[in-house]
Structure 1
Amino acid sequence: MTHSFEKQIERRNTRAVKWDLVKSLYGAEDVLPMWVADMDFEVPEEVIKALTARAKHGVFGYTFTDHALASTITEWLNDRHDWQVKKPSILYSPGVITTLYMAIQTFTNKGDKVLIQTPVYPPFYQIVTNHDRELVKNQLVLRHDRYEIDFDDFEAKLQEGVKAFILCNPHNPVGRVWTETELRKIVALCKKYNVMILSDEIHADLVYSNNKHIPIAKLDEEMADKIITCMSPTKTFNLAGLQVSYAIVPNRSKREALEKTFQKQGIHILNTMGITALDAAYQHGREWLEQLLAQLTRNIDYVVEAFAEHPRVDVIRPEGTYLVWLDFRKLQLSQADLKDFLQTHAKVGLNDGASFGEEGTGFMRMNVACPFTLVEEGTNRIIKALG
């Protein structure tokens, strides 16, 4: 079946964060939103059918997760990532960030050092600071339009007594898909200094040619007991509003401890529609996903090629995710002026690079998970304003 990703679906007046908050965030209705990380694409037809059938049932009582759902997940992980996961190691959650919050509460104490790699997804900062943990940063290094890990600094920070490291792979916002060599270095160093790894791998399925997502927990069987991997179909299949995710926690005692923290917070059941969508997407969404990746590649290619003609903006081409990290530093604008230029003159709403940390100053994040015509329009608005 051929899926169309050129259909423009009207999302206004659906309480869509991306579209219905444009005026309050950017000051005008005519700003094109290319910010928050959801897609403007319709989900796979099989998911719509499954949700429709469930809705027509008409009863929405308590729902549980079962062996069949766990099998669907393990088959997906084996097929997509060559990762053999045992069903009992799966722990369900409303979202990846929720799981990370619970993990920090469970496995660290107030005052403990927690390491993140910046610039990074803004909630990573809050996960640490909202729990009165000490934030430690390992700044990523930009070399030749590609970010790398400063492993000397990484080890130096671990030596300071870091208790947990929050990994983002694929990385949001810089788009890196960490290689096996890089991941093995991370594992070896965390093992050496007895540091737990909390790995956000929500974009694992959104990886482009010549790159391969490798779940960090599969690289070292001994270290796997100190790794919690957070995954979800929500980014892959545009299901974020249904709030469904899962964590892979191989170590039984850690899994039970984490589950106990969830229960303390009153989180013990998943959204009925989220369960339905996860099951349908993983069972029937493979062909749709391959076509999606082709569409996203086309969109990214266009952005890269269009800005190549305008050397004042550098594009950090993503190896994964549908988020493009744009470097505007050559314009020599303050961050406030850069934001004003984009939303007032270009009429495009992007994510403020500084919200990902001070290392994001001079940058903006563009979401290209939308029909090509919108990618073309947004890119050309910026280019025209530059002129």
Structure 2
Amino acid sequence: MKIFETIHDRKNTRSVKWDMVKNLFQSEDVLPMWVADMDFQAPDAVNQALIARAEHGIYGYTIVDDMVKSSIINWISKRLHWNIQSEWLSFSPGVVTTLHMAVQALTEPEDKIVIQTPVYTPFYKVIEAHNRVIVKNQLLYSENKYHIDFEDLEEQFKQEVKAFILCSPHNPVGRVWTRDELEEIAKLCEKYDVLILSDEIHADLAFPNVQHISIASLSESIANRTVTCMAPSKTFNLAGLQASYAITPNQEMRRKLEKQFAIQGFHGLNTMGNTALEAAYNHGEEWLDQLRELLQSHYQYVKETLETQTDLTVSKADGTYLVWIDCSSLNLDAKGLRKFFNEEAKVGLNAGFEYGTEGEKFMRMNIACPRTILEEGVHRIIAAINK
């Protein structure tokens, strides 16, 4: 699709990725390939819906009506094969916001919460900000792929853990957990009475022929201990419109969650987020299928090129547009690694240590950009290593 080939100038659009380059990387000539948004325009149906809404010209208080809810229900059913009910839905500006609310609503100060490291940076803040205790279940890294250490996970659960934040698909390592893996997690959560807060914002970005499974879809009993956090933001590049939702089948858990939102003063979605969400889920399927093929191709290009022309290795992934690069062969510490990519390669990536000490030898690359930009970034890295 031409929409994925066109280079759009995002500078001077208040873009976090492009307009903060000098502030973050101390140089204007660093190519930004870090924060998780895409350099692609949203589906045309989304843009046209937003234009039509803008042409109306009145932006009063907005409701999330049955049409919006139906677009979500139909999308989840068709794409993820999970039948949900409209009353299970709660709305939020973002998944991280929902996690903050859920931790406050469903756990108590000093409660232990498990995360699987290396993992998405805000998870640490979500726990620590509310005086909860981080418990790490470190992922196992073998044969260039990450696996869950179930023996350790059970040992952690035995320590009176209250909740488990699941990252599915996992950011930054790119794993889409299999049914067997999810069933083992579910079994342990039931055995030790652990709540599941499941961040599934990348659910739609599994590579072709890889099926994302929502852990709450495994059984009614698992659904009743799970808050599933989703959004169209990563899928359709709508992060700036701040529209996400939680799926909570358990009525008591949902009541507590929504009460916490009310306490914090959050009430529904903004007008444009509402409009974009509905349009994306109703009309964005063909666009998404082509995007997934493109992302898989980009991932394979990065992996094959870096591994054949350098000693870097790329973690085996099943989806997302985030590539986890093992840079241990460079023999640099965490700060030295970041400095090398910023100052020598002139490519702005996420430093792996931001995801936990387990990521100190890694860097995270965003590959959701036109192929020419991707190739430029890869070639800069290769040239810097050769130099």
Q: Could you say whether these structures have the same fold, taking a TM-score greater than 0.5 normalized by the shorter chain as the test?
A: yes
The one-letter code of the counterpart of 1:131 is: H
Aligned-partner Cα distance in 1 for 2:309–2:5: 26
* Long gaps (5+) in structure 2: none
* 1:114 aligned onto 2:113: yes
Please report how far the alpha carbon of residue 311 of structure 1 lies from its aligned counterpart in structure 2 after TM superposition.
4.3
Aligned-partner Cα distance in 2 for 1:300–1:223: 33
Partner of residue 102, structure 1? 101
Q: How does 1:137-216 map to 2 (within 5 A)?
A: 137-216=136-215
* Long gaps (5+) in structure 1: none
Q: How does 1:331-370 map to 2 (within 5 A)?
A: 331-370=330-369
Aligned-partner Cα distance in 2 for 1:228–1:269: 18
SS in structure 1 at match of 2:220 = coil
Contact 2:127 2:133 in 1 (8 A): yes
Aligned-partner Cα distance in 2 for 1:22–1:352: 15
Aligned-partner Cα distance in 2 for 1:46–1:287: 11
The one-letter code of the counterpart of 1:47 is: V
Aligned-partner Cα distance in 2 for 1:378–1:207: 23
State the identity as a percent.
Answer: 54
Aligned-partner Cα distance in 2 for 1:3–1:73: 27
Q: How does 1:211-360 map to 2 (within 5 A)?
A: 211-360=210-359
- Give the stretch that moved more between structures: 333-342 or 282-291: 333-342
Contact 2:310 2:385 in 1 (8 A): no
SS in structure 1 at match of 2:309 = coil
Please report how far the alpha carbon of residue 318 of structure 1 lies from its aligned counterpart in structure 2 after TM superposition.
2.1
Please report how far the alpha carbon of residue 4 of structure 1 lies from its aligned counterpart in structure 2 after TM superposition.
2.6
Partner of residue 42, structure 1? 41
Q: How does 1:51-70 map to 2 (within 5 A)?
A: 51-70=50-69
Please report how far the alpha carbon of residue 36 of structure 1 lies from its aligned counterpart in structure 2 after TM superposition.
0.1
TM-score (normalised: structure 2):
0.99
Aligned-partner Cα distance in 1 for 2:212–2:168: 8
Aligned-partner Cα distance in 1 for 2:254–2:162: 18
Aligned-partner Cα distance in 2 for 1:102–1:19: 30
Describe the superposition over 1:125-170 as per-residue Cα deviations: whole angstroms up to 9, x where unpaired. Answer: 0000111001100000111111000000000000001000000000
Task: Show structure 1 runs of 4+ deviating over 6 A.
Answer: none
Aligned-partner Cα distance in 2 for 1:12–1:378: 18
Aligned-partner Cα distance in 2 for 1:93–1:215: 19
Aligned-partner Cα distance in 2 for 1:223–1:365: 32
Aligned-partner Cα distance in 1 for 2:2–2:72: 23
Aligned-partner Cα distance in 2 for 1:180–1:196: 19
- Give the stretch that moved more between structures: 217-226 or 71-80: 217-226
SS in structure 1 at match of 2:90 = strand
Describe the superposition over 1:4-43 as per-residue Cα deviations: whole angstroms up to 9, x where unpaired. Answer: 3010000000110000000010010000000000000011
The one-letter code of the counterpart of 1:263 is: A
Contact 2:350 2:364 in 1 (8 A): yes
The alignment's C-alpha RMSD in Å is 0.8
Aligned-partner Cα distance in 2 for 1:224–1:41: 34
